[in-house]
Homo-oligomer: A and B are copies of this chain.
Amino acid sequence: MTALVGIVMGSDSDWPTMKAAAEVCTEFGVPFEADVISAHRMPVEMIDYGRSAHERGLKVLIAGAGGAAHLPGMLAAVTPLPVIGVPVPLKYLDGMDSLLSIVQMPAGVPVATVSIGNARNAGLLAVRILAAYDEELRARMSAFQETLAAQARAKGATVRDGAAKLRKG
């Protein structure tokens, strides 16, 4: 099946963070591909990847990067597809450098940025994008949101029990 979502990152060390995006695709039955594409170490291949992405049938790109995180923005420069950026936190600065390097794109070339280290949300955003014209997928997203609500409700029991114990001393 043709991949609809392309998940790329600058190094395999980002995979433990980024695989959460792939897991979402699996959960929602969305075909995806994942690879290492480094803006700084493979600049020409990066441009080729971006330029041909929509021709290969991809509909959304997800790019994770840390520090001077240039991959999402450079991909957005060479593809007409929506690009989702995941700020990967490095050893210092808690991902603030990654966030600003990804989100602060100049007018003309947007990157859809999600929270620091939150590749799961990148995956969910990709699903929402694909679902805009796919009613069946959108229904699954709505069902997923219902599940979130149910899970949150279920967690209330822990808190109510904890409160009850405190009251009894």
Are the C-beta atoms of B26 and A169 separated by less than 8 Å? yes
* B110 & A122 in contact (Cβ 8 Å cutoff): yes
Total identical chains: 8
A156–B94 CB distance below 8 A: no
Q: Tell me whether B95 and A156 are in contact (CB under 8 A).
A: no
Within 8 A of B (CB), among A7-55: 7, 9-12, 15, 18-19, 22-23, 26, 32-45, 47, 54
Q: List 17 A-B contacts (CB under 8 A).
A: A19-B162, A22-B166, A35-B163, A36-B152, A41-B149, A43-B77, A68-B73, A68-B101, A70-B101, A84-B112, A89-B92, A97-B100, A101-B104, A109-B121, A111-B114, A112-B125, A113-B113
Contact A152 B89 (CB under 8 A): no
Contact at A114–B121, with CB atoms within 8 Å?
Answer: no
Q: Which residues of A contact B (CB under 8 A)?
A: 7, 9-12, 15, 18-19, 22-23, 26, 32-45, 47, 54, 59-60, 66-70, 73-74, 76-78, 80-84, 89-97, 99-118, 120-122, 124-125, 128-133, 138, 141-142, 145, 148-149, 151-153, 155-156, 158-160, 162-163, 166-167, 169
Are A138's CB and B47's CB within 8 A? no
A23 touches B166 (CB 8 A): yes
Contacts of A90 in B (CB 8 A): 104
Q: Return A32 CB to nearest CB of chain B, in Å.
A: 7
